[in-house]
Amino acid sequence: MTLTRFVVRRAAGGLVFALVVASLTLLIARLAPGDATTGEAIAMTVEQRAALRADLGLDQPLLTQYGRWLVGLTRFDLGRSSLFKRPVADLVGERALNTALLAVVALVVASLVGIPLGRYTGASHAMLARAVGAASVAVLSLPPLLSALLLVLVAAHTGWLPAGGMTSGGLSGAAWLADLAWHLPVPVLALALPLAATLERVQSRAMAEAIGRPFVDASRARGLTRERTLRVHAWPASLAPVLGIYGVLVGAIFSGSFVVEVVTSWPGLGRLLFDALLARDVWLVAGCGAAGAASLAVATTMADVVHATLDPRLLERRG
Amino acid sequence: MLGLTALFWSTRQPAPSGRLEQGAQAPLPRGGTLVASLRTEPRSFNRLVSRDVATEIVTLLTQARLVRVNRATQQVEPWLAETWTTSPDGQVFTLTLREGLQWSDGAPFTSADVAFTFKAIFDPTTKSVLASGLEVDGQPLTTATPDAHTVVVTYPRPFGPGIRLLDNVVILPRHKLEAAVASGTLSDAWTPTTPPADIVGMGPFVLTRYEPGQRLTFARNPRYWRRDAAGQALPYLDGLVLAIVPNADAELLGLRSGQIDMTQQQLRAEDIATARDLERKGLVTVQEAGVTLDPDVFFFNLRPAAWAKDPRGTWLLTDAFRQAISHAVDREAYANTVYLGAAVPVHGPITPGNKDWFWPDLPRYPFDQAKARALLAGLGLTNRDADPWLEDAAGTEARFTLLAFRSLDRGAQVLKESLEAVGVAVDVVTLETGALIERMVTGRFETIFFNYVSSDTDPAMQRDLWLSSGSGHIWNISQPTPATPWEAQIDDLITRQAASIDQAERVRLFREVQRIFSEHLPALYFAAPRVYLAVSTRVRNATPGVSRPQLIWSADTLAVAPAAALR
C-alpha cells in the first residue's frame, strides 16, 4: 500500500468514526431524562412548553430529527444550539481552537519531558533513573481532576500563577500573547503530567528493549561509543512504539480536558460539552462529540503517518 | 378613605434628577474596574426573549426599567419613571418619566420607547418570556402615551402588587429595534453574536466586549442619568467585568487570588469558614444580607393518580402523615447540621427574609418524636416485625424514595435519619438538576427535596406556586380543577389577595393561605440559610440583598478603592 492510499483510507475511516461518535453522543443525550426545555419547565405552562418544544423541533420523532441533522451535515450545518441560540458549528469552532491550543501545548510539553526522561531511564540503572521511574508511576495514578485541583489550589494560595481562565481581558497584541502564556501552565501541567509519565514509561521500556537487540551489540563491536550507539541506533529504533501511542494520548487529552477545563475555567470544548449536557442541548452535545472524534481521527492518522514513514513495514503489513 | 388615599398617593420621591440620598460618609472613589463572577453564559442580550440568570444580570447592567425593586429594602423605587399616581380602583397608573434622559447612543428617551416595549412584549412573534407575567387574569396590561413624558398603564383588573409588576419590564430602544419587531424577528435580535455597539440601553454600563467562555466587559455609560448625593454622575466605576467562572470552588479561588472581586451569588455553607479565614487575612469582607427567600423544600407527589395502584397511597397522601414528618424533624439540629449553623429554622415557604409577608405566628410543628409516632400509629402504621420500620395492616412498609438535588444531599441525609428515628424508611436518590426537574414536572416521583427560587417577595407574583393551576404548584402541577377542597380554598384566597389593593386585607388573606398551607403541609420546610457574601476588601458601598443577584443589582453605586488606598 502506498502512503497516499494509506492516508486516504485513514481519513475516510476518521470521517466515519466522527459520524458514529457524534450519532452515539446524540442518541445518549436524547436518552437522558428531559430536553432543552426542562430547565425552564417550572416557569412555563404545559402549553408554553409544548410550543417551545415544537419551535425547537423536539416534538418530532427521534429518527426525523436525526435525519434532518444528517442532511444538515452534508452542508456542514451541525444544527442550532438551543442553549446559546447560535449555530453549533460556530460555537464548536470557537471553543475547539482553545482546546486545540491547550492540547497541543500539553502534548509538546509532555513529549519534551517524557521522551528524554524515558530515554534516560531505559538506558540507565542509576538510582536517579529508578527514582524517575517511580515518580512516573505515581503521577500516572493521579487523575487529571486531582492534578488540576492541586495545581489550581497552589496557584491560588501562592499567587504565582492565575488560578483560572485563559486571558485577563482588555489586552491585545504582544501583551495578550504574554498573558495567554501566563495562564497556560496550570491547565497544561494538569493535562501534561500524566501524559509525560505515560511517555516516559513507554519510552523507557522501548529503549531497554532496543538496547538488548543484536544490532546495538554489533554497533558497539564496531567501536561506537555507548552514547553514540544509544543516540544513533537504539533510540530511533525505540521510537516506533512511542509514536504508536500518540493516537491514544490525544484521546486521553480530550477526555482529560473535559475536567481540566471545568476546574481551571478554560473556555474549551470540554466546558462547552459540560454546559450542553446539563442543558440537554443535544445538537451541541453531538457537535462537541463530532469535533472531539474528528480531532482524535486526525491525530491518530498523523501519528500513524509518521509511524509509517519511520517504519515502512507498517504499510506492508496493512496490505 | 382607602380609595382617596390611593388617588393622591405617589411614591417616596428621590432628590431631583435621580440623586441618591446619602448620609454623612466619606466620598466614594471614582474610577477603576470591578470584576464579578458569572456562573453561566448569557443566552441572549434581549431580556424579552430569555429568562436565564446571565441574561438578567447583563440586562441589569445595561438596561433600565420604569420602576425598580430595591433588592436590599424589597421596596419599589422610582427609576425611569420619576413619579406616578394610581387611580382609586388601582387599575390605572399614570407615570411621569424623567426628562432629558438619553439612550447610551445619544438618542432621546421618550414614552414612545415604553409603548414600543409593551407592544414588543405582547407581539406573538416575539414569543416573549415576559408576556405571561405581565398579564392579569390572562389579560395583558395596556399602555397609552398622552405626551412624550407620560405613560398610562392600565391593568385589566385591580392587582395587589400594583406598580411592582413593572420591575419586570425592561425598556427597549424603539429606534434600534422597531424594524425587528415589524419583521417579526425580535426573538433573534441582540444575540451574543450581535456587535456590542448595537446594544443600546439606559443602564449604568454599556457592553464593550463579549469573549465567549471567558468574560463580558462593560464600560461606564456616559449618558447614565443617575447622580449621587454630591451631584457626581454615576456609576462610580469606569468599567465592570463579568468573568465566567463555572463553579463555586473556582469562584472562591478567584476571590482568594484576587482575580475576582465578588461572586454572583451567596456562599455555600461549607465555604463560609474559608471566607472567614480570608477575611482574617484581609483579602475579603464577609457580609450577611439576611435570611434567604428560598428555603429547601420537601414535598410528596400529591397527584392522586400517582398512588392509585399503590397501597401506600392510603396513608402517604394524608395530612397526618406529613404532619408526623414535620414533628419528626428537629429544625434546630437540621440548621446546625446542614447549614453548619448559618440558617434559621422555618415552618413554611415564607422566610423571615421576606420583610413584608413573613408571619412569625404561623402554626408550627415542634420537634416531638412521640407525637410523630402517635400520628403514624393513628394511620395504622406500627412496627409489626423485627426490622425497625413501621408497617400498615397489610404489611406494607412505611418507606418511600426521596429524589434530591446533588447539592442538597446533606439535607436529604438529615431528613432520612430523622424519619428513620420514627420508623419511616427513606431511600435517597440524588439526581442532577435536569433529570430531577423532568421527573417533577412529569409527576414521576414519590417525594422530592428541592430548592425553589422565588421571583418576587409578593405572593401575588408567585401565583404559579400557590394556584392549583400553576406550573410551579410543585406537589401537583397544572391541575385543571383543584384536586382538594383546601387547594380550592387557597386558589380563592390567593385570587382575592392578588385582586385587592388594600394592603391590610392582602396581609390578612395571605395569612389565611399560610394557615391552610400549614395545616395540610403539601410541602415541608425545615431551615432557611442566611445569605453570606464575600467581597474583595477593595470593593466599596456593596449593598447586599437576599434576592438574586444579591450584590451586582446595585452596580451603579459600587466603587473600588484605588490601589494606593489599600497599601
Q: pLDDT per residue over A103-131, tens digit each?
A: 999 999 999 999 999 999 988 888 999 99
Query: C-alpha grid cell for residue B552?
Result: 451586582
Query: What does the radius of gyration of chain A's CA atoms come to, in whole angstroms?
Result: 24
Alpha-helical regions (H) of B421-562: 433-442, 463-466, 485-499, 503-520
CB contacts of A46 in chain B (<8 Å) are 471, 478
Q: Tell me the C-alpha distance between B56 and B62, whole Å.
A: 10
Q: What angle separates helix B409-420 from helix B319-328, to the nearest 10 degrees?
A: 100
Residue B299 main-chain phi, psi, to 5 deg: -145, 155
**Torsional sign, CA A105, A110, A116, A119:** negative
Which residue, among A204, A236, A230, A202, has the nearest Cα to A216 in the 3D structure?
Answer: A230
A212 to chain B nearest CA, in Å? 50
| CB-CB under 8 Å, A271 with B193 | no
CB contacts of B452 in chain A (<8 Å) are 42
| CB-CB under 8 Å, B256 with A156 | yes
A20 to chain B nearest CA, in Å? 26
Amino acid type, B210: Y
What is the pLDDT, as a whole number, of residue A220? 78
Q: Tell me the C-alpha distance between B298 and B176, whole Å.
A: 46
Output the CA–CA distances (angstroms, integers) from residue B426 to A224, B314, B436, B437, in the order listed.
76, 18, 17, 20
With cell 407592544, the residue in question is B119
pLDDT in tens, chain B (567 residues): 333 333 333 333 343 445 555 444 568 899 999 999 999 899 899 999 998 899 999 999 999 999 999 999 999 999 999 999 999 999 999 999 999 999 999 999 999 999 999 999 999 999 898 998 898 888 999 999 999 999 999 999 999 999 999 999 999 999 999 999 999 999 889 998 899 999 999 999 999 999 988 999 999 999 999 999 889 999 999 999 999 998 888 888 889 888 899 988 899 999 999 999 999 999 999 999 999 999 999 999 999 999 999 999 999 999 999 999 999 999 999 999 999 999 999 999 999 999 999 999 999 999 999 999 999 999 999 999 889 999 999 999 999 999 998 778 899 999 999 999 999 999 999 988 888 999 999 999 999 998 878 778 999 999 999 999 998 899 999 999 999 999 999 999 999 999 999 999 999 999 999 999 999 999 999 999 999 999 999 999 999 999 889 999 999 999 999 876 555
- Give the pTM: 0.87
Which long-range CB contacts under 8 A does A52-60 form with residues at least 24 apart? Answer: A55/B127, A56/A82
Query: C-alpha grid cell for residue B516?
Result: 391552610
Q: Tell me the C-alpha distance between B435 and B429, whole Å.
A: 11
Is it true that the peptide bond before B482 is cis, omega within 30 degrees of 0?
Answer: no
Mapping DSSP to helix (H, G, I), strand (E, B) and coil, where does residue B298 land? strand
What is the pLDDT, as a whole number, of residue B7? 32
Give exposure, B41-68, as e/b (b: 16+ Cβ within 10 Å).
bbbbbbbbbbbbbbbbbbbbbbbbbbbb
Residue B241 main-chain phi, psi, to 5 deg: -120, 130
The three state secondary structure string of B321-342 is HHHHHHHHCCHHHHHHHHCCCC
A62 to chain B nearest CA, in Å? 18
Mapping DSSP to helix (H, G, I), strand (E, B) and coil, where does residue B366 land? coil
Closest chain A CA to residue B431: A33
Q: Which of A45-49, A263-267, B384-388, B508-512 has the lowest mean pLDDT?
A: A45-49
First to last CA, chain B: 60
Q: Tell me the C-alpha distance between B553 and B203, whole Å.
A: 11
Q: Is the pLDDT of residue A141 over 90?
A: no
A34, A86, A152: residue with CB nearest B434: A34
Q: Tell me the C-alpha distance between A61 and A64, whole Å.
A: 5
Contact B396, B311 (CB under 8 A): yes
Mapping DSSP to helix (H, G, I), strand (E, B) and coil, where does residue B207 land? strand
User: pLDDT band for position A168 (50/70/90)?
Assistant: confident
User: pLDDT band for position A14 (50/70/90)?
Assistant: confident
Q: Tell me the C-alpha distance between B424 and B327, whole Å.
A: 13
User: pLDDT band for position A147 (50/70/90)?
Assistant: confident
Q: How far is CA B521 from the centre of its chain?
A: 22
A33, A45, A267: residue with CB nearest B214: A267
Q: Tell me the C-alpha distance between B90 and A46, whole Å.
A: 31
Q: Tell me the C-alpha distance between A45 and A54, whole Å.
A: 14
Percent of chain A with pLDDT over 90: 25
Beta bridge partners of B426: B400
Q: Tell me the C-alpha distance between A177 and A174, whole Å.
A: 5
Closest chain A CA to residue B189: A85
Q: Tell me the C-alpha distance between A120 and A116, whole Å.
A: 6
| CB-CB under 8 Å, B127 with A55 | yes
What is the pLDDT, as a whole number, of residue B246? 83
| CB-CB under 8 Å, B259 with A86 | no
Let me know if A299 is exposed, middle or buried by CB neighbors in 10 A (0-12, 13-18, 19+). Answer: buried
Q: How far is CA B86 from the centre of its chain?
A: 26
CB contacts of A275 in chain B (<8 Å) are 40-41, 246
Which residue, among B244, B289, B253, has the nearest Cα to B274 in the 3D structure?
Answer: B253
Contact A275, B40 (CB under 8 A): yes
Mean pLDDT score of chain A: 86
| CB-CB under 8 Å, B43 with A169 | no
| CB-CB under 8 Å, B132 with A265 | no
Q: Tell me the C-alpha distance between A244 and B325, whole Å.
A: 62
Query: C-alpha grid cell for residue B227?
Result: 447622580
A30-39, A184-193, A233-242, B325-334 — most confident range: B325-334
Q: Tell me the C-alpha distance between B442 and A56, whole Å.
A: 19
Q: Is the pLDDT of residue A267 over 70?
A: yes
Kind plus residue range of the DSSP H or E element containing B401? strand B399-405
Mapping DSSP to helix (H, G, I), strand (E, B) and coil, where does residue B419 land? helix
Size of interface A-B (CB pairs under 8 A): 133
A187-231 pLDDT, tens digit per residue, is: 999 999 999 999 999 999 998 888 888 888 888 788 888 888 888
Amino acid type, B447: T
B245 to chain A nearest CA, in Å? 6
Q: How many helices (H) and strands (E) does chain B have?
A: 16, 22
- Model ipTM value: 0.80
B437 to chain A nearest CA, in Å? 7
What angle (nearest 5°) sits at the alpha carbon of residue B70, between those of residues B64 and B73?
175
Output the CA–CA distances (angstroms, integers) from residue B458 to B131, B135, B160, B165, B544, in the order listed.
19, 16, 9, 10, 19
Amino acid type, A228: R
What is the pLDDT, as a whole number, of residue B18? 52
Contact B60, B203 (CB under 8 A): yes
Contacts of A77 (CB under 8 A, 6+ apart): A87, A89
Q: Tell me the C-alpha distance between A166 and A105, whole Å.
A: 14
CB contacts of A47 in chain B (<8 Å) are none
CB contacts of B247 in chain A (<8 Å) are 262
What is the pLDDT, as a whole number, of residue B553? 94
Q: Tell me the C-alpha distance between A249 and B280, whole Å.
A: 45
Q: What is the dihedral of CA A207, A211, A215, A216, to 10 degrees?
A: 110
Does B34 reach chain A within 8 Å, measured CB to CB? no
With cell 398622552, the residue in question is B146
Beta bridge partners of B404: B430, B449
Mutate to test the interface with A, among B128, B253, B452, B536 (most CBs of A within 10 A): B253
B459 to chain A nearest CA, in Å? 15
Q: What is the dihedral of CA B306, B308, B312, B316, to 10 degrees?
A: 60
Which residue, among B566, B511, B497, has the nearest Cα to B536 in the 3D structure?
Answer: B566
Does B259 reach chain A within 8 Å, measured CB to CB? yes
B193 to chain A nearest CA, in Å? 8
Mapping DSSP to helix (H, G, I), strand (E, B) and coil, where does residue B307 land? helix
Q: Tell me the C-alpha distance between B193 and B212, whole Å.
A: 9
What is the pLDDT, as a whole number, of residue A317? 65
Contacts of A284 (CB under 8 A, 6+ apart): A79, A81, A82, A83, A84, A88, A91, A92, A272, A273, A276
Which residue, among B560, B501, B435, has the nearest Cα to B91 in the 3D structure?
Answer: B501
Bridge-based pairing of strands B142-147 and B150-154 is antiparallel
- The percent helix, strand, coil of chain B (3-state, each to 5) is 35, 20, 45
Beta bridge partners of B244: B38
What is the pLDDT, as a whole number, of residue A290? 87
| CB-CB under 8 Å, A267 with B244 | yes
